[in-house]
A and B are shown apart, each in its own frame.
Chain A
Amino acid sequence: MDPHLHGLFARAVDTEPLGPPEDLARAAMAQGTRLRRRRLLTVGGVPMVAVAGFAAAVGLAVTPTAGGQAPQAPAPASAGCSSSIPYAGSVAYLLLRTDITEQQRIDLADALPADALVQTFEHDTTEQAFERFKKLWRDEPVPVTEPTESFRIRLDRPGQFEEFAARYRDRPGVSDVVGAACLGDAE
Chain B
Amino acid sequence: MTKRALRDEEFSAFVAAAAPRLKRTAFLMCQDWHLAQDLTQTTFAKMYASWSRIWRAENLEAYSRRVLVNTLLDQRKRRSHSELVLAEPPEPPGHGPDATTDLHVTLLRALATLPVRDQAIVVLRHWEDQSVDSVAEILGVSVSVVKMQNARSLQRLRALLGEDFVLS
B residues adjacent to A (C-beta < 8 A): 2-4, 8, 11-12, 15-16, 19, 23-24, 27-28, 33, 37-42, 44-54, 63, 66-67, 70-71, 73-75, 78, 103-105, 107-108, 122-123, 125-127, 129, 140, 154, 157, 165-168
Could you count the A-B residue pairs with CB atoms below 8 Å apart for me: how many are there?
Answer: 133
Contacts of B3 in A (CB 8 A): 170
Complex contact A141–B63 (CB within 8 A):
yes
Complex contact A24–B19 (CB within 8 A):
yes
CA–CA, A66 to B4, complex, Å? 31
The residue on A at minimum CB distance from B76 is A68
Complex contact B8–A29 (CB within 8 A):
yes
Count residues on chain A whose CB falls below 8 Å from chain B CBs: 42
B16, B40, B54, B125: the one within 8 Å of A142 (CB): B54
Q: Is A97 an interface residue (CB 8 A)?
A: yes
A4, A6, A17, A140: the one within 8 Å of B67 (CB): A140
Asked if A12 meets B45 with Cβ closer than 8 Å, knowing A25-B12, A175-B52, the reply is no
- Chain A CB within 10 Å — which of B23, B74, B104, B154 has the most? B104
Asked if A31 meets B45 with Cβ closer than 8 Å, knowing A8-B104, A24-B40, the reply is yes
Contacts of A140 in B (CB 8 A): 46, 50, 67, 70
